[in-house]
Structure 1
Amino acid sequence: MPILGSIIKQAITIRGRIPARKNIQKQQLKQLNKLLSKAQFTSFGEQYSFSEILLSEDPIKGFKKTVPIFDYQSIFELWWYRALQGEKDVCWPGKINYFALSSGTSESASKHIPVTKDMIKAIQKGTIKQILSTKHFDFSEEQYETEALFVGGSTNLNYNGTYFSGDLSGITTGTQPRWFQNFSLPGPEIRSQTNWEKKLEDLVLNAKKWNVGFICGVPAWIQILFERIIKHYNVQTIHDVWPNLAVFVHGGVSVQPYKNSINALCAKQLIYLDTYMASEGFIAYQERPNEQQSMKLMTDNSMFFEFIPFNEENFDSDGNVKPNATAIDITEVKLNQDYALLITNCAGAWRYLIGDTVKFTDLKRCEIIVTGRTKHFLSLCGEHLSVDNMNRAIKLTAKDLDLNVNEYCVVGKPNKGLFAHHWYIGTDKQADAGALKEKLDNYLKELNDDYATERKHALNDVIITLLPNQTFIDFLASKNKLGGQSKFPRVLKGKQLNEWLAFLEKNKK
């Protein structure tokens, strides 16, 4: 009898009965006051009069009126660069010892996102919340006795004499409490491996030693790991090696384009749990089973949220926020509207445009889905196509044509005096580009009325280029972005587009 599993399940069930605080507005006001109070004597806090905001009648209103909206470029050039040089008390009390490296999906150069002890604690708290939420999924006692495999960045961080830098997953894994490390895989040696190919090899060689029931990581790399394990052990499915594997906790990108491929590698259906973990912190997690995999926004975990309606009044055609953009708080949001997410966190991000767009699916539960990136909406002529639209259309098309489409990207371009969308689609099966184009185009028309309208007018063509899935992985490898939190951008523009086209030309067969 799984005694330990029984104890863990009972503990999670009992803890889950403790009623959660329902008033989201009060939660958010409390978080903002805590953040302002802690940072009021930093350079940033003194510049923007945090002490006065705290004493005001309406701190949220005062905060929005006094502190401007920042994107990465503006906050780094004005403030974060000082913390990077080792200066204390810039945007958060003390010295920043860790910086998460993030290429985002819009710029090629690495961003340096500050990570503090307070943020690491908040991430740990969020992780515990997600573990406690498993009571809603009714896992067996035996499931709680299996092991959790985390496939993330290296814990072997870079140190330049002033700060450590690396993937957020490497920073947080390396700073986990000892009790938590005892329940997770792999061991310290594999976790610290910086060579992604060597890490994959080590994971494969050790796979049969482990009783993996939960696996966590970015979908593309989990799929590659499954494929290599199956090939190495000459078995049919991943469940021939890990019979108790039941749960895939994923994040970074939508799992939708990968589901068919991952399911094909399994003997039984996995439970997919979505998480919203960014370099700026743990934002949301999937608390309960639901078809959309909507995630609960963590409104009581050292983060204050604002939302900018993602429309032409607030953003220009390149996805840049306009100077007079209007941000609303969580009490003003509406269902099924795209919002650019602004965060204020416990690491010195203040009214920070994270670059993601979200949509609320349940206001009472405060549940969201991530719909795309502010700079990854295609709208050459008013079609307003989101990454969420693209993912859904790709999934439906692939299912109809029995294809495994793992990676894709889209480029907007001039075409015969009007415009076209050029899709680069990864598949390892023979496919009819004409049939794929027709189905994809029709699904996009069903999903997006603006797209359907523009296909009759200014958007005069859809162009399809089929490529092996490996081409997308090879491109990431050429940019030294294999593994960890790296992912292929869905919409290519500017420098990234030029690099992609040059790569395809160089590797043309």
Structure 2
Amino acid sequence: MAIFGSIIKSLIDLKESLTPEGEAIKDQEEVLKNLLKKAKDTSFGKHYDFKAILEAEDIRKSFAEKVPYFDYNKMDMEWWHKYHDGEENVSWPGRPPYFAISSGTTGKSSKRIPVTEDMLESIRKAGIKQVSALSNFDLPADFFEKEIMMLGSSTDLHKEGDHQEGEISGISASNIPFWFRSYYKPGEEIAKIDEWDERVQKIAENAKNWDIGALSGIPSWMELMLKKVIEYHNVSNIHEIWPNLQVYASGGVAFEPYEKSFEALWGKPVQVIDTYLASEGFLALQERPGTHSMKLILDNGIYFEFVPFKPEYINEDGSLTSNAPVLNLTEVEEETDYVLLITTVSGAWRYIIGDTIKFTDKERKEIRITGRTKFFLNVVGSQLSVNKMNDAVKDLEDQFDIKIPEFVVAAKRGEDGEYYHYWYLGTTDNADNDKLAEALDNSLKDANKNYKVARSKALKGVKVQTIDPDMFHEWNAVNKKKGGQVKMEKVMNEEKFSEWEKFVNKPA
């Protein structure tokens, strides 16, 4: 019997039963108050008079009135760049020991997002919440003795002056608690390898030495790693190498587009658990089975606000108009898309993280990521969000019995001068492009009334081209890098799409 695993499982069950369920609104008010108190003497806090906000009768309302919205460019241009000029106490006390490098999904230029000791503590606490939530899943005691494969970016961080830089997954992994290191794979030596293909090769070579019970990482890169391990050992599925694999903690993007592809890699059922760890913080986690929704973490150094995701409130670059209304947890509605704003212990204030979400269960405070503010396809009024696109692609997978883990779409004029949506679908399965286009068009018409109206007017139709999914990974390798936190953009403007088509159609 797995005695040690039974003890751990019992402790987790006990902790979960003893941990009181906080009152969400009160938790969030307390978080905001603590954020303002701690930062009131920073340059940012003095500029926006945090002391006056703290004395206001309605702190939340005063905060929303006095502090404007910030996207990364505005926050960096006006405040965060001062850290690199040697200043301290800019938007959070002291100087951040780390900066998370994020290329995001929309360009080559990297963002450098402060990561404070308070944020590392917040991420650690969220990780403990995630482990505690496992008590809600039907997992055997011996699962808690197995090793965890955390496939992130390199932990070999780069020293820049008085701080270190790397992707958030690498920063987090380089700060894992000592007691967890014996469970953590691929281990410190392999995790430090910066070059993705070399790191995955080492993982494949060592895979049989490990007893992996859980995986953690972004789906697109996790899929590639699992395929490499399967190929290297010449087996038919990953459970022939890791027979005790039972859990996959997915993150960064919606898992549904990858579901069929992963099912082909499993030898037995695996519990997929969604998480929401961004460069700016650990925001939400799935705490119960039977759903892909994640519960917002409301008592852990991050204050949330929500702006209705409507075209009139979104600028072309994905930022918000100054008159965009903001809602709190009591005012949101289920199944409505919102732009997510966060204020954090890393000194991000009313920060547009770039994701759109919807509440699937307001009472439980559970959400789904529905897309990106820049991935909103509204040329000629089609108003397509990524979640609608994901749903339509999943319909194609079911209808044609194929796997489509990746796609990209753009709106542009065809040779006849009319507007079309041009889709590239990543699949190795055989399917007729014209039939796929017709089915995709019909699915989107059924799911989105604005799209249906656009199709009856200025949007002429849909064109589909299937390509090898590896093309998407190679595009990322050329434009950003492989692995880590890198995600493929789903929607491109005409200029970027022109580059994409040249890349896809270049001679072999």
Q: What is the TM-score when the length of structure 1 is the normalising length?
A: 0.97
Structure 2 residue aligned with 1:111:
111
Structure 1 residue aligned with 2:12:
12
Deviation at 1:342, TM superposition (A): 0.5
- Asked if 2 retains the 8 angstrom alpha-carbon contact of 1:86 and 1:163, the reply is no
Structure 2 residue aligned with 1:305:
304
Letter in 2 for 1:363: K
- Asked if 2 retains the 8 angstrom alpha-carbon contact of 1:427 and 1:466, the reply is yes
Q: How far apart, in 2, do the equivalents of 1:183 and 1:237 lie? A: 23
For residue 357 of structure 2, give the secondary structure of its aligned residue in structure 1.
strand
Deviation at 1:279, TM superposition (A): 0.4
Letter in 2 for 1:328: L
Deviation at 1:414, TM superposition (A): 2.5
For residue 463 of structure 2, give the secondary structure of its aligned residue in structure 1.
strand
| 1:389-468 correspondence to structure 2 within 5 Å | 389-415=388-414, 416-468=416-468
Deviation at 1:103, TM superposition (A): 1.2
Q: How far apart, in 1, do the equivalents of 2:503 and 2:9 lie? A: 51
Structure 1 residue aligned with 2:153:
153
- Of the structure 1 ranges 315-324 and 154-163, higher mean CA displacement relative to structure 2 is found in 315-324
Q: How far apart, in 2, do the equivalents of 1:405 and 1:433 lie? A: 13
Deviation at 1:503, TM superposition (A): 1.8
Deviation at 1:387, TM superposition (A): 0.7
Structure 1 residue aligned with 2:471:
471
Does residue 362 in structure 1 map to residue 326 in structure 2? no
Deviation at 1:480, TM superposition (A): 4.0
Question: Structure 1 residues 459, 318: closer, same or farther in 2, change over 3 A?
Answer: farther
Does residue 338 in structure 1 map to residue 302 in structure 2? no
| 1:193-204 correspondence to structure 2 within 5 Å | 193-204=193-204
Letter in 1 for 2:70: F
Deviation at 1:135, TM superposition (A): 1.1
Deviation at 1:494, TM superposition (A): 5.6
| 1:40-119 correspondence to structure 2 within 5 Å | 40-119=40-119
**C-alpha deviations, 1:169-200, integer Å up to 9, x for none?**
00111112211222211211011110111100
Q: How far apart, in 1, do the equivalents of 2:268 and 2:504 lie? A: 37
Deviation at 1:495, TM superposition (A): 5.2
Q: How far apart, in 1, do the equivalents of 2:299 and 2:50 lie? A: 20
Q: How far apart, in 2, do the equivalents of 1:19 and 1:245 lie? A: 28
Deviation at 1:318, TM superposition (A): 5.2
Deviation at 1:271, TM superposition (A): 0.8
Q: How far apart, in 1, do the equivalents of 2:146 and 2:205 lie? A: 19
- Asked if 1 retains the 8 angstrom alpha-carbon contact of 2:274 and 2:285, the reply is yes
For residue 235 of structure 2, give the secondary structure of its aligned residue in structure 1.
coil
For residue 249 of structure 1, give the secondary structure of its aligned residue in structure 2.
strand
Structure 2 residue aligned with 1:228:
228
**C-alpha deviations, 1:409-461, integer Å up to 9, x for none?**
00111244542110011111222111211222222222222212222222111
Deviation at 1:317, TM superposition (A): 5.1
Structure 1 residue aligned with 2:326:
327
Q: How far apart, in 2, do the equivalents of 1:258 and 1:414 lie? A: 30
- Asked if 2 retains the 8 angstrom alpha-carbon contact of 1:108 and 1:496, the reply is no
RMSD: 1.4
Letter in 2 for 1:395: K
Q: How far apart, in 2, do the equivalents of 1:232 and 1:363 lie? A: 46
Q: How far apart, in 1, do the equivalents of 2:450 and 2:20 lie? A: 40
Question: Structure 1 residues 302, 203: closer, same or farther in 2, change over 3 A?
Answer: same
- Asked if 1 retains the 8 angstrom alpha-carbon contact of 2:412 and 2:494, the reply is no
| 1:113-128 correspondence to structure 2 within 5 Å | 113-128=113-128
Letter in 2 for 1:165: E
Q: How many residues align?
A: 507
Q: How far apart, in 2, do the equivalents of 1:42 and 1:233 lie? A: 55
Q: How far apart, in 1, do the equivalents of 2:103 and 2:493 lie? A: 15
Q: How far apart, in 1, do the equivalents of 2:464 and 2:9 lie? A: 49
For residue 274 of structure 2, give the secondary structure of its aligned residue in structure 1.
strand
Q: How far apart, in 2, do the equivalents of 1:20 and 1:400 lie? A: 45
Structure 2 residue aligned with 1:206:
206
- Asked if 1 retains the 8 angstrom alpha-carbon contact of 2:370 and 2:387, the reply is yes
- Asked if 1 retains the 8 angstrom alpha-carbon contact of 2:426 and 2:468, the reply is yes
Q: How far apart, in 1, do the equivalents of 2:202 and 2:507 lie? A: 32
Segments of structure 1 that go 5 or more residues without pairing to the other structure are none
Q: What is the TM-score when the length of structure 2 is the normalising length?
A: 0.97
- Asked if 2 retains the 8 angstrom alpha-carbon contact of 1:446 and 1:452, the reply is yes
Q: How far apart, in 1, do the equivalents of 2:316 and 2:155 lie? A: 39
- Asked if 1 retains the 8 angstrom alpha-carbon contact of 2:409 and 2:421, the reply is yes
Letter in 1 for 2:358: K
Q: How far apart, in 1, do the equivalents of 2:384 and 2:336 lie? A: 13
